[in-house]
Structure 1
Amino acid sequence: MSELKELAGFLHDQNPQVRMLATQHLLPYTARNSPQFDIWFNNNCEPVKDLKALLKDKPQIASQAITALVNVSQNASVRRVLMDEEFLNLVFGIITNPVHGLADLSCMVLCNLAKEEDFVRILDMKVPLREFSLSRNIIDQLMDLFVKGTNHGINKYANFDFLANVFADMTRFEKGRKYFTTIQEYDNVYPVSKLIVFTEHNSMLRRTGVSAIIKNICFDAPFHKTLMDEEGVNLLPYLFLPLAGPEDLDEEDMEGMFDELQLLPDDKKREPDMFIMKTHVESLILLCATHEGREHLRSRKVYPIIRELHLHVEDEDLQALCDQLVQLLVRDEATEEVEKATENPPDEEDAIIEVD
């Protein structure tokens, strides 16, 4: 351990070649399960602070440093060392630079930092304007990178998929959910409406993060009406489509169903990841929290989709969630039947009398 501590001291050596070698040799000890991980806490986390400084070093050194930071920032104590505004601005500067080769790795660092509730203070941070965005708010620029930068649309070295996990962790906290469910002045759009379009993206990372974002926001019942408003966010088609398969449905099943859900092609595939499918069904369950929500789901024919999902996907946990959703959907119908029977009791000759 003493040799490793001595090696860590070379992270701030004046010779760049020495800094490079020190960073390379310390990388194996950045894994959180490394028995020697404690070296990063040495001298009040001085090695971590050195890694922060190395992000401004020569490209080869910065590349090694950001890789190390991705690993060590999985530790909560290390994250608190990295949460100062100067470091955040440095990382944001890398991510928003359209020609920087370390943008995606820097997004991975943000994925870890976003696990801290204090991270949501970035909602109040501003940065210089970039050509891809009309806002100086860093969160708006990150959103623009995620939407416009997919498939290397902004930076040929980055696709910004990891930002999905950043946003997902932010929506665990009330302040984060409020941002995604509030129309933004700079583009007059609900941020969440920009994200739901990725529920069928080819990147599993994006789909997983977006499914978590949707579920977290669905915990806020007052926003359900806006989520399901077909003139607003219009969430439901983006939840239904990943759950739908190629099965033929009869006319009664399709009456009231979204146009994009009707007559799906024979090669239509369901979401291949079981975790994502379960998350979508859990979101639908949360949307059943109000009578209005259940009515809307029924009118848009969620039941045939869930029925076919239950029949064609053999996963007990998913099937249990489907059963739970169906029970919530039929609850009001059962109540209405009782009310009708009470209001209009059967004639005596039609009544069935059970005798012990």
Structure 2
Amino acid sequence: MEAIEEISQFLDIGTRLDLKSIALQHVLSVTGSNDGIELLLSLPEIVRQLVLLVQDNSTSVCKDAALSLINISAYDGGANALLVISETSKMRPDEKPNDNLVHTCLRCILDKQNDLADPCCMILSNLTRAHSLTERILAVVNNSGYAWSAIIAAFTAQKYNEKGATLHYLGPVFSNLSQSITMRRYLLDKEHCVIQRLLPFTEYVESTVRRGGIVGTLKNCCFDTEYHAWLLGPKVDILPRLLLPLAGPEEFNDDDNDKLPIELQYLPENKTRDSDPDIRTMLLEALAQLCATREGREILRDKNVYVILREFHKWEKDRAVLLACENVVDILLKKEEEIGLDNLREVTIPEEYKEKFKKMDEEYINDS
């Protein structure tokens, strides 16, 4: 504790570069363990100094500070501490350096010449991971002076950052924040149709992080049943984007083929399915959410989703993914008279049955 406290005096942004670098490297090594992070969190001024050092004139200092903050933000207590610093910042948005980490990360991400754009995306991804923090982070973002439209534009641009940053980790940021109804209302705004700009990334083979983040975002948006008809309609047309990563090269007879969305008809012989089981599960969970409403179920049946899932089930080996697939198929094969409800989300399941179903699922997944 005393050694870390002594180091604090050398972490000032105005300190001589060599002393500052040595002190920062020591702090970075301390963030390599949970005990070390706990120690730093007991000294919030040092954590605040790290935020300021991300904006240092020295590239090496900036990178070491960013790595330290990535490690700290990955720790639940660290994410909250960093958010508190941002929330209580007394600095103006135009001040630099700035101790509002959320604001600072957004500034770096939206600066096309910034070398720290990707580390800053990773920091935001960590900060937004805890569901309990999402509304607070959204409030800080909304007070940052940066618009979500600019952030989405940076993410969807072909090559936004001129220094080679990919911004892939904005995908998990969107996924994490879309747990909040506030964020989903923005993404599902019918006038601006923001969600449609994210759809192409369900097949973004260059990055599992980006692809998984967007699939997670779409899955979260499918929880809002009042938007199902719009999501499945021509304005958004989400269904082909959810099905294509689950589809293989199988050929169907003309009758089955003609019922499929046009994008899934006559797929090439080299068509492959998504390689990541977690992403495949999220795609199936999104389809399951779309089955919550009668209108959604009828559209999925009319679009012959079953035949894609039938072939997918033959191919899939992961038990957890198979279970997710079977959950969708079971609903689609039932007649509406058997289901007896327009909206399955309105069903109240007693707690004892929830535990029973959970146990049955676990037994299925673990059954070798």
Per-residue Cα deviation, 1:177-199 (whole angstroms, up to 9, x for no partner):
1111114xxxx531111111100
Contact 1:72 1:78 in 2 (8 A): no
Match for 1:140 among 127, 134, 149? 149
**CA RMSD across the alignment:** 1.9
Matches of 2:240 and 2:204, distance apart in 1: 14
Gaps of 5+ in 2: 94-99, 340-368
Matches of 1:63 and 1:76, distance apart in 2: 19
Q: TM-score, normalised by structure 1?
A: 0.84
Query: 1:331: how far off?
Result: 1.8
Gaps of 5+ in 1: 128-136, 337-356
Match for 1:290 among 281, 289, 293? 293
Contact 1:180 1:190 in 2 (8 A): yes
Matches of 1:156 and 1:250, distance apart in 2: 49
Kindly report structure 1 stretches of 4+ aligned residues shifted beyond 6 Å: none
Matches of 1:123 and 1:191, distance apart in 2: 18
Contact 2:168 2:209 in 1 (8 A): yes
Q: Equivalent residue of 2:81, what SS?
A: helix
Partner of residue 137, structure 2: 119
Partner of residue 69, structure 2: 69
Contact 1:100 1:157 in 2 (8 A): no
Q: 1:107 to 1:229 in 2, by over 3 A?
A: same
The residue type paired with residue 38 of structure 2 is: D
Structure 2 residue 327 is matched with structure 1 residue 324: yes
Identity across matched positions, percent = 30
Per-residue Cα deviation, 1:84-135 (whole angstroms, up to 9, x for no partner):
36513322221111111111111111112223221112563463xxxxxxxx
Structure 1 window deviating more from structure 2 (5-14 vs 94-103): it is 5-14
Matches of residues 1-356 of structure 1 in structure 2 within 5 Å? Answer: 1-12=1-12, 14-31=15-32, 33-43=33-43, 45-58=44-57, 59-74=59-74, 75-84=78-87, 86=93, 87=100, 88-115=102-129, 116-117=133-134, 118-122=136-140, 124-125=142-143, 127=145, 137-148=146-157, 150=158, 152-183=159-190, 189-202=192-205, 203-230=207-234, 232-332=235-335, 335=338
Query: 1:292: how far off?
Result: 0.7
Per-residue Cα deviation, 1:259-312 (whole angstroms, up to 9, x for no partner):
111111111000010110011011101100111100100111100000000011
Contact 1:237 1:260 in 2 (8 A): yes
Contact 1:122 1:138 in 2 (8 A): no
Partner of residue 339, structure 1: none
Matches of 2:85 and 2:71, distance apart in 1: 13
Q: 1:157 to 1:111 in 2, by over 3 A?
A: same
Contact 1:8 1:47 in 2 (8 A): yes
Contact 1:125 1:138 in 2 (8 A): no
Q: TM-score, normalised by structure 2?
A: 0.81
